[in-house]
Amino acid sequence: MRRYKTSYPISWRFMDVLEAAFALVLPRGGGRLTPYLLLTPAVLLVGTLAVGLLYIGDSSLRVLDRSTFLFSDYWTLENYQRAFSESFTATIIWRSLVGAVIVTAVTLLLAFPYAYVMVRTSSALLRKFLLVALFLPFFIGQVVRAYGWLIILGNQGIVNDALALVGVEPLRLLFNYPAVLFGLVQYMLPFGVLMLAPALTAIPEDIEAAATSLGANWVRALFHVVLPMARPGLIGAGVVVLTLSLTDFAMPAILGGGSQDFVANAIYDQFFRTSDQGFGASLTLILIAVGSMTVGLIFAVFGAGTLALGANRK
Amino acid sequence: MTEIQAAAVSAINVEMTFGTFKAVKDASFELQNGKFLTILGPSGSGKTTLLRLIAGFLTPSSGEILINGRSVRAVAANKRSIGMVFQKLALFPHMTAAENVAFPLKMRRFDARTIPDRVAQYLKLVRLDGFENRRIHELSGGQQQRVAIARALVFEPDLLLLDEPLAALDRKLREEMQLEFRRIQKELGVTTINVTHDQREALVVSDQVIVMNDGEIQQNAAPTQMYRMPSNPFVANFIGVTNDLSGILTRVTSADATARFGNVELMGVHGGAVALEDGTPIKGAIRAEQIRIASAEQSMAGLDADFRGTVLDAIFEGERHVYEVEVPELGGESLKIIHHDRNDQSALEPGALVHIGWKNRDLQIFPAKQ
Ligand SMILES: Nc1ncnc2c1ncn2[C@@H]1O[C@H](COP(=O)(O)OP(=O)(O)O)[C@@H](O)[C@H]1O
Ligand SMILES: [Mg+2]
């Protein structure tokens, strides 16, 4: 009789071993509490974060005495008053928020066609190429990539060298707002594509064929059918890119050269340069509030998209 | 007016190759305006591929498909006058039933003032008035089916293509929808091509049936002719329940043929399409419902062939009985017999002695190999 290799896959043998181990630890399947038991490590991790947040909340209410370098032993709102009265705070929050919105918009605009071609192409080779190109930056890391841009865009960088060859004066391509946004978009693009691809895969190809056969050209098929159906993915990708950009540290620090600080850079300065933990903590909480409100606003206007999960994801 | 009417659809030697695999082989057929054609075949026989070629979603590797005398591919995909109902419906989930039906009108730039009336008219045609504001996922399978049909018809296409849209429905609903298709098609007179693997559906709804197997057209005929005169054993077996008998040809005329099966010589009919020679192996095919059966004591009049046999198995299917009967004279072959018990006689039990018979014109004779 012919024996099929595939009728008992190797992965099943691994699972047999896992099941045996599981039965050893939890005989009789462990009962009803097992799911909660498995949840504990994650809950502990998040819990630690929450405790940390409480400490930050506490610090934010204590003001630094600059003569003794001690924090007050009473609670006060002085740090917040200072944050809201100094134009510096408004500047960095505004810069971070506007930057995050622009980066999100540009990233989605670039990620959508990338994800679309990756999902829809009939060429396996092109799909592989796009996937590899997508993951390569992940292996390099954010800081190294930012330094890469320094080399390319610097005053003695590759771009300026090339411009010099055709007789153009060196351009100041770094340490300005566009440079930071450029770096952020480049950093966020893979996240955007990875969040969009499953949403596009979920749209059956026949849907697009149907739209065409019903009379839609590609532009109208895109706006009437594909984009509305990809909305959950667009929202999910948008929220992830927005929050990551809003709180980013490395790109403003390296490509902004200290002149284009985002909130995270200001917080870093307070904690590790001026050692004013109290003021740093208040900035942290303000950042969390701004981020939460922005995301809340998106959810309220557009729905929660893929991040809603579960049943009412429509 | 003596203008020659081009066939609504004509396929001319159409072939479709995926890599090295031929999914459609040398397919040619014509369909006249206003007719209902069903492409029937087992799963994987190339039905969807042929339909997609007709829709213009695929380009034939060779050959040509003409719609009203013009090549499909000569017209841009979104300008073709073809309504298509997809196997998985492909309704737009983010729109209501009415919006789905209005979509092709909007895309084809119909006057916005006329759209609501027309949508209402077509929702009524498919008996969905009152459901216009439901989202797609709030409709049952049969209702979604109807939305898909209304959406494909509302812009009054020259041609309607249906890709097994009923396959997912339960039997009762499917049979209801088959009649519904027929009614709507008659009412609008739209030329229609339907794809199915359900032989009953093909016979019920169509003016013309094409049977496909392995990418090849086996027969192209009207349903009654397809049933009475299958052109080869594949078609005979695919439509209805058919008994196969192996024999040797002994005599052949233009109208009939005689062949030896086991110990007996039997006369039957042949399509005449293939030249038959005496002494060649042949296949006889006789439909289960064309064999009469009675208990050994009863007599049956008006039959050309009459044998004794023993009931091996009896299955009660409600309105009919299905028997398996061993017939020693036919070399011990057993035959399936479908018996509609009109007089509510008591059923025959396994082991019962019976006699069975048929008319010569019901035995089809085909060359064993083609
Ligand atoms: N795009 C394709 N690439 C390769 N093979 C295909 C493709 N489409 C269909 N086929 C093959 O062609 C054959 C006929 O397919 P199809 O027309 O879908 O059959 P049916 O609709 O009759 O079930 C199948 O064997 C299928 O695997
Ligand atoms: Mg199919």
Q: Where are the domains of chain A?
A: 5-32, 80-307
Mean pLDDT (whole number) for B251-275: 81
Residue B91 to residue B207: CA distance in whole angstroms: 28
**Average pLDDT over every residue of B334-352:** 80
Distances (CA, A) of B306 to A279, B130, B289, B322: 106, 59, 15, 19
Percent of chain A with pLDDT over 70: 96
Give, for B243, the enclosing helix (H) or strand (E). strand B242-252
Task: Supply B333's token pair.
Answer: 């072959």
Nearest to B94 among A211, A215, A228 (CB): A228
Under an 8 A CB cutoff, do B82 and A209 touch?
no
A196 pLDDT above the threshold of 80: yes
Residues on chain A touching B86 (C-beta within 8 angstroms)? 206, 209-210
Radius of gyration of chain A (CA): 25
Q: What is the DSSP letter of B203?
A: H
Alpha carbon separation from B224 to A286, B204, B212, B228 (Å, rounded): 80, 10, 17, 6
**Contact status, residue B270 vs residue B285, Cβ threshold 8 Å:** no
Count of residues making up chain A: 314
Segment B92-130, tens digit of pLDDT = 999 999 999 999 999 999 999 999 999 999 999 888 999
ipTM: 0.82
- Residue that wins the pLDDT comparison between A46 and B173: A46
DSSP string over B150-194: HHHHTT--SEEEEESTTTTS-HHHHHHHHHHHHHHHHHHT-EEEE
> How far apart (Å, rounded) are the C-alpha atoms in residues B45 and B49?
9
Across residues B187-206, what is the average pLDDT? 92
Structure-block tokens of residue B257? 């043929």
Q: Position A189: which residue type?
A: L
Regarding the beta carbon of B43 and ligand 1, being less than 6 Å apart is answered yes
Dihedrals phi, psi of A8, to nearest 5 degrees: -140, 80
pLDDT at residue A102 tops 90: yes
* C-alpha–C-alpha distance, residues A278 and A64, integer Å: 7
Cβ of B24: how many Cβ atoms within 10 Å? Answer: 27
Q: Return the minimum-mean-pLDDT range out of B40-49, B273-282, B295-304.
A: B273-282
pLDDT, residue B170, reads 85
CB contact under 8 A, A209 and B80: no
Q: How far apart are CA B78 and CA A218, in angstroms?
A: 9
Which of A203, A208, A213, A219 should one mutate to test binding to chain B, selecting the residue with the greatest count of B CBs within 10 A?
Answer: A213
- A20, burial (CB in 10 Å: exposed 0-12, middle 13-18, buried 19+): exposed
User: What is the per-residue pLDDT across A217-238, written as a single tens digit (0 to 9) for each?
Assistant: 999 999 999 999 999 999 999 9
Q: What is the DSSP letter of A61?
A: T
pLDDT at B3 over 50: no
Partners of B282 in beta bridges: B247, B367
Domains and CATH numbers, chain B: 9-228 (3.40.50.300), 241-367 (2.40.50.100)
- Per-residue burial over A180-209, b if 16 or more Cβ lie within 10 Å, else e, is bbbbbbbbbbbbbbbbbbebbeebeebbbb
Q: Return the DSSP state at A14.
A: H
pLDDT confidence tier of residue B319, bands split at 50, 70 and 90 = confident
CA of A20 to the centre of ligand 1 (A): 43
Cα–Cα dist B130/A102, whole Å: 45
Spatial CA neighbour of B190 closest among B37, B11, B6: B37
- What is the reported pLDDT for A222? 96
Decide which of 1.10.3720.10, 3.20.20.140, 1.10.150.20, 3.40.50.720 is the CATH code for A80-307: 1.10.3720.10
**Three-state SS for B293?**
strand
Q: Is the pLDDT of residue A312 over 80?
A: no
CB contact under 8 A, A215 and B92: no
How far, in Å, CA of B57 to CA of A213, rounded? 9
Tell me if B84 and A210 make a contact (CB, 8 A cut-off).
yes
CA distance B365 to B256: 9
Question: Which residues make Cβ contacts (< 8 Å) with residue A116, sequence separation at least 6?
Answer: A200, A226
Q: Measure B178 CA to nearest chain A CA, in Å.
A: 22
Mean of the per-residue pLDDT values of chain A: 90
| Terminal Cα distance for chain B, rounded | 45
Q: Does the CB atom of residue B49 touch ligand 1 within 6 A? A: yes
Chain B neighbors of A214, CB-CB under 8 A:
78, 83, 103-104, 107-108, 151-152, 155
Residue B353 has, within 13 A of its CA and on its CB side, a CA count of: 6
B82 Cβ under 8 Å from any chain A Cβ: yes
Q: Name the phi and psi angles at B253, rounded to 5.
A: -120, 180
Burial of A167 (0-12, 13-18, 19+ CB in 10 A): exposed
Owner of token pair 């609903």: B173
Q: For residue B17, give the amino acid letter.
A: T
* B52 Cα to the center of ligand 2, angstroms: 10
Q: Shortest Cα distance from A215 to chain B (angstroms)?
A: 4
Exposed e or buried b per residue across A246-275, where buried means at least 16 C-beta atoms within 10 angstroms of its C-beta: bbbbbbbbbbbeeebbbbbbbbbbbbeeee
Mean pLDDT for the stretch of residues B224-240 = 89
Q: H helices within chain A, ranges in order?
A: 10-25, 34-60, 78-85, 87-120, 124-140, 142-153, 158-165, 177-201, 205-213, 218-221, 227-246, 250-256, 263-268, 277-302
Nearest CA in chain A to B56: A213
Q: Which ligand is nearest to the CA of B23?
A: 1
CA distance B253 to B193: 38
Mean pLDDT computed over every residue of chain B: 89
Q: Does the distance separating the beta carbons of A213 and B92 come in below 8 Å?
A: no
CA quadruple A198, A203, A206, A211: dihedral sign: negative
CA A86 vs CA A79, A90, A91, B223: distances in Å: 11, 7, 9, 87
CA of A207 to the centre of ligand 2 (A): 16
Q: Which of A223, A193, A199 is nearest to A107 (CA)?
A: A193
What is the structure's pLDDT at B1? Answer: 39
Assess contact for A193 and A134: CB atoms under 8 A: yes
> How would residue A139 be classed by pLDDT, with cut points 50, 70 and 90?
confident
Q: Which ligand is nearest to the CA of B27?
A: 1
- Nearest ligand 1 atom to the CA of B51 is 17
Selected residues 226-285 of chain A with any CB under 8 Å from a CB in chain B: 228-229, 231
Q: Which of A212, A225, A228 is nearest residue B78 as measured by Cβ atoms?
A: A212
Residues of chain A in contact with residue B137, where contact means CB-CB under 8 angstroms, are: 314
- Which atom of ligand 1 is least distant from the CA of B42? 22
**Alpha carbons A33 and B161: distance in angstroms, whole number:** 55
**Cβ-defined contact of A228 to B80 (cutoff 8 Å):** no
